[in-house]
Amino acid sequence: TDLDENPMALLDRGEIPQLKALRLHNGTIYRWNRACFGITDGKPHLRIENRVLPAGPSTLDEMANAAFWCGMMVEIGAREEDITRRIDFDQAAANFYTAAREGVGSHFTWLDHEEISARELVLERLLPLAAAGLRRQNVDEDDAKKYLGVVEERVRSGRTGARWQLSSWNSLRDRSTQAERANALVAATAQRQLTRRPVSEWERARLDEANTSKGNYARVENYMTTDLFTVQADDPVEMVANLMIWERLRYVPIEDEDHRLIGIVTHRAVLRFLLSGGSTLRTPIADIMKREVSTVTPETPTIDALRLMRQLQLGCLPVVQDDRLVGIVTEGDFLEIASKLLEHQLATEAVLAEPVPPAAEKKVEKPAAAPAPAASSSSSSPPSSSASSSAAASAAAPSSTADKVRESS
């Protein structure tokens, strides 16, 4: 952030300060209603952002939230002269944190110290208030019913945006990597948003929605591990050895105080130290760490990372961006990717190799030939009805397998 400007000096000269530091700091503060300074077309302004509105994840849910919130505020403002007389600030703050942690499963201390569940509060108190507030503002009755109905169904079903995300994520946990779960969740969100249905009607995300094709493994950032266990150079070997055992790690990066990568230690290095009768387990890890470390960036193509590991016979590659450690890829990651691609390839080949079942053939009995007419005056009479039926059946019967297929289709 550029802090070189002097706001007071700019004002004295009749100029408009940018106040970049204030705007940056204000952007890091979470408030439901946030005062924001901005400049539009050369004119400074102070606006109030209502941050409850963007909560989705669908556009319909956002519109429903807006109707619910604005209707409530209008009606409560009209009915309550001073709501602070009916609920303490500390109780309101506690309700806020409870709602953030528990969602629709929360229990609150409401007006006049009433204990009430979130579901009961929304369905029996707040939704009627919101409906009255929208009527007070002359909002179309059908629109109000539509949007408040979305909120009602969301609360009754317990399927909020947060719960949909968590349940989808957890349902995929045992069958996928973190990157695949994130990919599936984003893809499912985008696809369900196109349906224009509220989140209460969304099905859980599925792994096949992640489009797990070769493109998802094109670059290191698509699958690198970002939840890292790191140590510092003065940490003892004993601690690092235990960390490797507890977390089943084969490689542990070493960082300095500024989170810059300065080395890496492998499980083999720790084993060699212990087997050689190392002087003491309190020896700092810096004594056995590898200081010259080959690294890649998140944008490195996977093929380049593979070639580098094969060329240098490496078991892992730390991922560095702007001199900071942001991830790591190991031979285990590539083994998992290879197994998934191989499984996909074999499954595809198995489907293609399956023989196409022949069309079911129908047995058509050949009708008996009609008896030749007797050489008499009756020979000029029309054939009997049974002979006519047999002839018609014979004419209608398919004459070849191709005809049978065409007929069945």
d(CA 178, CA 176): 7
Model pLDDT for residues 339-387, shown as the tens digit of each residue:
877 877 787 778 778 776 665 544 545 555 555 544 444 434 444 444 4
Model pLDDT for residues 236-285, shown as the tens digit of each residue:
999 999 999 999 999 999 999 888 999 999 999 999 998 887 667 789 99
Residue 251 three-state SS = strand
Which is more confidently placed, 53 or 327? 327
Cβ-Cβ contacts under 8 Å for 147 (sequence gap 6 or more): 60, 63, 64, 66, 67, 68
d(CA 152, CA 119): 9
Q: How confident is the model at residue 407 (pLDDT cuts 50, 70, 90)?
A: very low
Beta bridge partners of 301: 219
Cβ-Cβ contacts under 8 Å for 91 (sequence gap 6 or more): 109, 113
Give the tokens for residue 394: 């014979």
Give pLDDT, residue 300: 96
Model pLDDT for residues 45-94, shown as the tens digit of each residue:
988 887 766 677 999 999 999 999 999 999 999 999 899 999 999 999 99
Other CB atoms within 10 A of residue 186 CB: 13
At residue 86, φ and ψ (nearest 5 deg) are -110, -15
Give pLDDT, residue 368: 54
Q: What's the average model confidence in pLDDT over 215-244?
A: 90
User: The sheet that has 231-232: what strands, in order across it?
Assistant: 231-232, 251-255, 261-266
Side-chain-side CA neighbours of 282 within 13 Å: the count stands at 0
d(CA 250, CA 253): 10
d(CA 218, CA 279): 45
Q: Strand 107-109 and strand 115-117: pairing? A: antiparallel
d(CA 289, CA 252): 9
Give pLDDT, residue 279: 62
Residue that is written with structure tokens 């007419």 in the block: 373
Sign, CA torsion 291/296/297/298 = negative
Whole-angstrom CA distances from 154 to 143, 149, 163, 200 are 17, 8, 11, 5
Which is more confidently placed, 386 or 229? 229
> Counting beta carbons within 10 angstroms of the beta carbon of residue 172, is it exposed (0 to 12), middle (13 to 18) or buried (19 or more)?
buried
Q: What's the average model confidence in pLDDT over 393-408?
A: 39
Answer whether residue 215 shows pLDDT above 70. Answer: no
d(CA 91, CA 178): 38
Extended strands (E) in 105-220: 107-109, 115-117
